[in-house]
Structure 1
Amino acid sequence: MGAVDFRVSSILLDRVAEWLTNSSLAGDDLENIVRGFCERIAAAGLPIARVHLTFSMLHPLYDALSFTWRRASGVTIEGYRHTAGQKPDRFLQSPYYYLLDNNLQHIRRRIPAEGPAEFPVFADLRHESITDYLAFVQPFGDGSVQGMMGSWSTDSHSGFSDDMIEALLRMQNHLAVAAKMAVLGKLANNMLTTYLGGDAGKRVLNGQIRRGDGETIRAALVMGDMRQSTMYAEKEGRQTYIDTLNQFFDAIAAPFNRNGGEILSFIGDGFLAVYPCGRHKDPSKIACQAALSAVHQAQSRVAELNTERQEKGLSKISYGIGLHVGNVMFGNVGLKDRLTFSAFGSAVNEVQRLQALTKKYNNEVVASQAFAGYCGGEWTTLGEEKLRGVRQKITVLHPRAPAPLLEVEESYVEAPQTALSEAEQVILLHRDARKQAQSPVPEKFIQ
Structure 2
Amino acid sequence: MPWSPQTLTDWLLTNAAAAKTLDDLTQQLGAQLAQANAPVWRLRFAMRTLHPLLAAVGTTWENDTGPKPVVESTHGLETRGGYAGSPMTTVSQSRKPFRQNLSALAPDHHEVLHELRAQGGSDYYALPVLFGDRVTAVMTLTTRHAGGFTPPDLAGFDTIAAQLAPFIEVLRLTTLSSAVSEAYLGKHTAQRVLAGEITRGHVDIIDAAILISDLRGWTQLNVERDPEQAVAIANTFFEVMDATVTSESGEILKFMGDAVLAIFPASAGQQDAVARALRAAQAASSHQTDTLRFGIGLNVGEVLYGNVGSEKRLDFTVMGPAVNLAARIESLCAQTECPILMSHAAANLVPRTRQVGTFSLKGLPSGEAVYAPSPMPE
Q: Which residue matches 1:299?
A: 285
Give the RMSD, CA atoms, in angstroms.
3.0
1:146-180, CA deviations, whole angstroms, 9 ceiling, x for partnerless residues? Answer: x3223222334443333322221111123333223
For 1:33-52, list aligned pairs within 5 A: 33-52=25-44
AA matched with 1:60 = P
1:327 positional shift: 0.9
For 1:379-418, list aligned pairs within 5 A: 379-401=353-375
User: Would you say the 8 A contact 1:8–1:163 is kept in 2?
Assistant: no
- Secondary structure in 1 aligned to 2:288? helix
Q: Which residue matches 1:69?
A: 61
1:113-170, CA deviations, whole angstroms, 9 ceiling, x for partnerless residues? Answer: x7857734444444555443212233544554xx322322233444333332222111
> In 2, Cα distance between the equivalents of 1:6 and 1:199?
49
The correspondence for 1:283, drawn from 246, 256, 269, is 269
For 1:5-404, list aligned pairs within 5 A: 5-8=1-4, 10=6, 12-23=7-18, 28-57=20-49, 59-62=51-54, 64-79=56-71, 88-92=80-84, 94-99=86-91, 103=94, 105-112=96-103, 119=109, 120-144=111-135, 147-277=136-266, 283-303=269-289, 306=290, 316-377=291-352, 379-401=353-375
> In 2, Cα distance between the equivalents of 1:90 and 1:198?
31
User: Would you say the 8 A contact 1:225–1:269 is kept in 2?
Assistant: yes
1:301-325, CA deviations, whole angstroms, 9 ceiling, x for partnerless residues? Answer: 123xx4xxxxxxxxx2332211111
AA matched with 2:285 = Q
1:391 positional shift: 3.6
User: Would you say the 8 A contact 1:54–1:148 is kept in 2?
Assistant: yes
- In structure 2, stretches of 5+ residues that fail to align are none
> In 1, Cα distance between the equivalents of 2:310 and 2:126?
49
- Secondary structure in 2 aligned to 1:302? coil
C-alpha distance 134-118 of structure 1, shift in aligned 2 (>3 A):
farther
TM-score under structure 1 length normalisation: 0.75
C-alpha distance 206-118 of structure 1, shift in aligned 2 (>3 A):
same
> In 2, Cα distance between the equivalents of 1:99 and 1:253?
37
- Secondary structure in 2 aligned to 1:179? helix
177-186 or 35-44, larger mean C-alpha shift = 177-186
How many pairs were matched up? 376
> In 1, Cα distance between the equivalents of 2:187 and 2:320?
21
User: Would you say the 8 A contact 1:62–1:190 is kept in 2?
Assistant: no
Which portions of structure 1, spanning 4 or more consecutive aligned residues, are displaced by more than 6 angstroms?
A: none
> In 2, Cα distance between the equivalents of 1:138 and 1:287?
47
User: Would you say the 8 A contact 2:23–2:70 is kept in 1?
Assistant: no
TM-score under structure 2 length normalisation: 0.88
User: Would you say the 8 A contact 1:108–1:134 is kept in 2?
Assistant: yes
> In 1, Cα distance between the equivalents of 2:257 and 2:75?
31
> More relative contact order in 1 or in 2 (CA 8 Å, sep 6+)?
1
1:292 positional shift: 1.2
- Secondary structure in 2 aligned to 1:149? strand
C-alpha distance 340-87 of structure 1, shift in aligned 2 (>3 A):
closer
User: Would you say the 8 A contact 2:102–2:123 is kept in 1?
Assistant: yes
> In 2, Cα distance between the equivalents of 1:132 and 1:265?
50
User: Would you say the 8 A contact 2:299–2:343 is kept in 1?
Assistant: yes
> In 1, Cα distance between the equivalents of 2:282 and 2:300?
18
> In 2, Cα distance between the equivalents of 1:123 and 1:397?
63
> In 1, Cα distance between the equivalents of 2:183 and 2:369?
35
- Secondary structure in 1 aligned to 2:331? helix
162-171 or 52-61, larger mean C-alpha shift = 52-61
User: Would you say the 8 A contact 1:321–1:355 is kept in 2?
Assistant: yes
C-alpha distance 167-58 of structure 1, shift in aligned 2 (>3 A):
same
284-293 or 149-158, larger mean C-alpha shift = 149-158
1:63 positional shift: 7.9
- In structure 1, stretches of 5+ residues that fail to align are 307-315, 404-447
1:225-277, CA deviations, whole angstroms, 9 ceiling, x for partnerless residues? Answer: 11221222233243332222111222344312222211122222111111111
1:368 positional shift: 1.3
1:158-216, CA deviations, whole angstroms, 9 ceiling, x for partnerless residues? Answer: 43333322221111123333223223222211211221122211111111111110101
User: Would you say the 8 A contact 1:324–1:351 is kept in 2?
Assistant: yes
> In 1, Cα distance between the equivalents of 2:311 and 2:79?
51
User: Would you say the 8 A contact 1:65–1:77 is kept in 2?
Assistant: no
> In 2, Cα distance between the equivalents of 1:318 and 1:115?
56
> In 1, Cα distance between the equivalents of 2:175 and 2:329?
38
- Secondary structure in 1 aligned to 2:300? strand
